[in-house]
Amino acid sequence: MSQNHHPLYSQICGIVGEKYVKDSLMSRITYSQEMSPNKPVISGVIVRPGSTEEVAEIVKLANRTKCPITLRGGAQSASV
């Protein structure tokens, strides 16, 4: 069965490599969970860049395509 990818999936894979891009619903739900009481935000695609250069290229792509970026840290926040 073929998966429908996020519209920017191929371009993001070109920046960071396919190994570091996930857009399946299960991955997106998993990455939306943390200890915080805040409502989860389920992103359209999960990207794990490995360098500041990759981050810069992703931000440029997001700006060109008007695609919002949600940053995620260690997901261990328990603050209110």
Q: How confident is the model over 18-76, as pLDDT tens digits? A: 999 999 999 998 888 777 777 877 889 999 999 999 999 999 999 999 999 988 766 55
Within a 10 A sphere around the Cβ of 8, how many other Cβ atoms? 21
What are 3's two structure tokens? 């998966």
pLDDT reading at 2 higher than 80: no
pTM: 0.79
pLDDT band per the 50, 70, 90 thresholds, residue 1 = very low
**Coil vs helix vs strand at 80:** coil
